[in-house]
Amino acid sequence: MTAVFGVPLPAILGQLMLGLVNGSFYALLSLGLAVIFGLLGVVNFAHGAFYMLGAFAAYIGLQFFGVNYWCSLILAPLSVGILGVLIERLFLRHLYRLDPLYGLLLTFGIALIFEGIMRGLFGASGKSYPVPPSLRGGFNLGFMVLPVYRAWVVLAALTVCAATWLLIERTRLGAMLRAATENAPLTQAFGINVPLLVMSTYGAGVALAALAGVLAAPVIQVSPMMGSSLVTVVFAVVVIGGMGSIIGAIVSGLVLGLIEGLTKVVYPEASNIVVFVIMAVVLIWRPSGLFGRE
Amino acid sequence: MKLKSTAAALGALIGFHVYSQAAAAGGQIVIGDIDDLSGVYADVQGQGGVEAINMAIADAGGTVLGKKVIVLSADHQNKPDIGASKFREWADQSGLNMVIGGSNTGVSIAMAKVAAAKKVPFFPIGAGGASLTGADCTPYSIHYAYDTTALANGTASAIVHQGRKSWFFITADYAFGTQLQEAATRVVLANGGKVLGAVRAPLGTTDYSSFLLQAQASGAQVLGLANAGLDFSNSLKGADEFGLTKTMTPAALLAFLSDIHSLTLQTAQGLYLTTAWYWDLNEESRAFGKRFFAKMHKEPTMTQAAYYSATLQYLNAVKTVGSTAAELVMAQLKKVKINDMFTKNGYIRADGLMVHTMYVMQVKTPAESKYPWDYYKVVKVMPGEEAYGTQPDPNCPLSAK
């Protein structure tokens, strides 16, 4: 059997595959963060909480209203997205003129409140969400058995990432978004409703986080803490990719997922810090991130 | 990342919520509960633990020696420094008489040092590390509900004796996980088994798929999960998804009723685990379960039952000696047999370990479960000496006496 650094090749391939799955989650979450930062200049610390709420929305839908997984994929992001819009209208928009620190503190506080509420309602050990029947089983890839559901996650996440990128880079709506990012007053002067644009962007970014939550629900325990452990990693991903860069968020999400996967084979104890080590190196070498513009 | 460090500092501040009542030293007996109230272990005791203490106080009459018994509770957030400093603060300012330690061995080890310095009776209950009555023992500690030795002698021994001898461990990377893995490894090796590998996963890991793949590649027959709470749930859920539960026997080296409830029987069925107490063991335990359920809307875990028992036994000892003086109470506790709804004929060994009966359980299948919370069937009843050993831990200086 061939081996790389003393690790058998099939094991490496297996870990790379799993890294790709995790990378898809990172990409989907960091994409929403990058979009929000790009247009609003808000460091959205509540992103992990919205991810958690998306997963809980799916769980609540299934348990209490019999909403199946496929409907949840639409309904959960929609309802959490509306919540995001409300938060933008009621709180966030008052902070745009201030230092970004205020937005960060507000969203961080919102995250703590949502986590506390869900802990009070559902407890800390979380809830189980079953894998939808049509996605059970596994593909035998030779070097590992890949559960069908994980393959679906990669496919769904990459499709959504590609669609978002196309929307922003290739459509008229995307052009307006980019214009508002560059110069909001001038864009407004051309008759484009910038506040509406900003509000919908925040809602859409939040909905992306909730979508990632629904995708994650069948594979990990749906618990109030699921977002807080992820959000710091995802922030590191965004910083590495370059704050506000869409393509940077997607690419660095996938690549860091792969690197983290390899770390789990070589030195598992370091698997939760490898992303931050890379972030430190990137910040020294390219302070604006790999894809950032300076 | 200046923003991030600011946010982290703020988080620590906001997270540090303490539900303490104003306490004046003197006219009261003050019991402290320092536990994880908001993190991965918050469902194991958490608010239910506080409720169990209150139930014991009510059963002791609410006042003891003419003094009102009150409870202080704090969230240690799984940080040893927070647990230790809260303990010290209450001992200095609030007239603290006794402390119950919740989850997390790392935190309890730090608190034990304060107990020794401040001479306050200390009952680690949620924490499992056997070193609490070994290298980290103190004259004021009583390790009450279970420890890593008993868990290994229960679950690991039961599985090895069924002929499944090759093991792979997924271990929580801190004091508790490593002690549990060591204890289980000793049992496996002593019974002619072997350990093919182990990975240490950081506390709070959500995605275990990489580790599970390594476990699968090892070819071991048994997947030993040396973790707890949400870590345990996520690793078992992953094992189920990746089909490991079909090819390997999962061994829950520590699982609480709350974990099985959140995982559902569909995922947890067939699992072997070791517990000190189960609500559906006998009439007394069911009666306690019913009272607890009325308040908390869930059946109590073994450690919540132990919270009740420890509080009751402490207050009984105070009544008997007619004083809250730590030395007198500790001497009394080590003299009597412990008989209540938690255990029968339990006793406290020289090193501070409460020796009592343990049960090896198997989780029922959904078909076997006849009513809500009907989760376990008894596989084996382990007498205290079989679970905890016949001799006090030689690493504890108190054992020599």
On chain B, the residues whose CB falls within 8 A of the CB of A145 are 242-243
Provide the β-strand partners of residue B201. Answer: B172
Does residue B6 form part of some domain? no
Contact between B224 and B169 under an 8 Å Cβ cutoff? The reply is yes
Does residue B393 form part of some domain? no
Contact between A234 and A35 under an 8 Å Cβ cutoff? The reply is no
CB-based contact B241 A43, cutoff 8 Å:
no
Structure token pair of residue A55: 């997963």
Could you count the other beta carbons within 10 Å of the beta carbon of residue A90?
A: 9
In this structure, the answer to whether residues B253 and B379 fall within a common structural domain is: yes
Backbone angles phi, psi at B366, to 5 degrees: -55, -30
Does residue B221 form part of some domain? yes
In this structure, the answer to whether residues B257 and B190 fall within a common structural domain is: yes
In this structure, the answer to whether residues B232 and B364 fall within a common structural domain is: yes
> What does the pLDDT read at residue B65?
92
pLDDT tens-digit map of A237-285: 988 988 878 888 889 999 999 998 888 878 877 888 899 999 999 999 9
pLDDT tens-digit map of B13-54: 444 444 333 334 468 999 999 999 988 888 899 999 999 999
On chain B, the residues whose CB falls within 8 A of the CB of A280 are none
User: Is residue A37 predicted with pLDDT exceeding 90?
Assistant: no
- Mean pLDDT of all residues in B171-184: 92
The distance of A25 to chain B (nearest Cα, Å) reads 11
Does residue B394 form part of some domain? no
The distance of A11 to chain B (nearest Cα, Å) reads 7
Task: Tell me if residue B28 falls in helix, strand or coil.
Answer: strand
Higher pLDDT, A96 or A174: A174
- Mean pLDDT of all residues in A220-229: 87
Interchain contact A287–B (C-beta under 8 A)? no
Does residue B324 form part of some domain? yes
> What does the pLDDT read at residue B15?
44
Q: Which of A22, A125, A145 to mutate to test the interface with B (most CBs of B within 10 A)?
A: A125
CB-based contact A265 B210, cutoff 8 Å:
yes
Does residue B12 form part of some domain? no
On chain B, the residues whose CB falls within 8 A of the CB of A105 are 7, 10
Rounded distance between C-alpha atoms, residue B295 and residue B43, angstroms:
15
Domain count along chain B: 2
> What does the pLDDT read at residue B21?
39
How many A×B Cβ pairs under 8 Å?
132
Q: What is the pTM of this model?
A: 0.83
In this structure, the answer to whether residues B164 and B39 fall within a common structural domain is: no
Confidence of residue A294 (pLDDT cuts 50, 70, 90): low
In this structure, the answer to whether residues B111 and B243 fall within a common structural domain is: no
| Secondary structure letter of residue B367 according to DSSP | T
The average confidence (pLDDT) of chain A is: 87
- Domain enclosing residue B117, as ranges: 19-146+283-352
Residue whose pair of structure tokens reads 């370091």 in the numeric block: A270
In this structure, the answer to whether residues B68 and B114 fall within a common structural domain is: yes
> What does the pLDDT read at residue B166?
95
Interchain contact B213–A (C-beta under 8 A)? yes
Contacts of B188 (CB under 8 A, 6+ apart): B156, B160, B165, B167, B194, B195
CB-based contact B42 A123, cutoff 8 Å:
yes
Whichever domain contains B366, its CATH number is: 3.40.50.2300
Annotated domain spans of chain A? 3-285
Interchain contact B1–A (C-beta under 8 A)? yes
| Nearest residue to A22 via CA among A246, A263, A266, A291 | A263
User: Is residue B297 predicted with pLDDT exceeding 50?
Assistant: yes
Interchain contact B168–A (C-beta under 8 A)? no
Per DSSP, the residues of B137-188 read --TTB-B-S--HHHHIIIIIHHHHTTT--EEEEEEESSHHHHHHHHHHHHHH
Q: Which of B207, B233, B298 to mutate to test the interface with A (most CBs of A within 10 A)?
A: B207
- Mean pLDDT of all residues in A61-85: 93
> What does the pLDDT read at residue B26?
61
Confidence of residue B112 (pLDDT cuts 50, 70, 90): very high
Nearest-CB residue to B206 (from A101, A105, A229): A229
Structure token pair of residue A14: 């297996």
Convert B298-323 to b/e letters by CB count within 10 Å (16 or more is b). Answer: bbbbbbbbbbbbbbbbbbbbbeebee
Does residue B287 form part of some domain? yes
- In angstroms, the first-to-last Cα distance of chain B is 55
Does residue B10 form part of some domain? no
Q: Please, is B276 exposed, middle or buried when counting C-beta atoms within 10 Å of its C-beta (0-12, 13-18, 19+)? A: buried
Contact between B174 and B105 under an 8 Å Cβ cutoff? The reply is yes
In this structure, the answer to whether residues B296 and B224 fall within a common structural domain is: no
| Nearest residue to B144 via CA among B180, B85, B79, B99 | B99
Domain A3-285: which CATH class?
mainly alpha
In this structure, the answer to whether residues B362 and B240 fall within a common structural domain is: yes
Backbone angles phi, psi at A191, to 5 degrees: 90, 15
In this structure, the answer to whether residues B157 and B172 fall within a common structural domain is: yes
> What does the pLDDT read at residue A6?
64
> What does the pLDDT read at residue A83?
95
In this structure, the answer to whether residues B371 and B244 fall within a common structural domain is: yes
| Secondary structure letter of residue A247 according to DSSP | H
In this structure, the answer to whether residues B25 and B116 fall within a common structural domain is: yes
> What does the pLDDT read at residue B401?
61
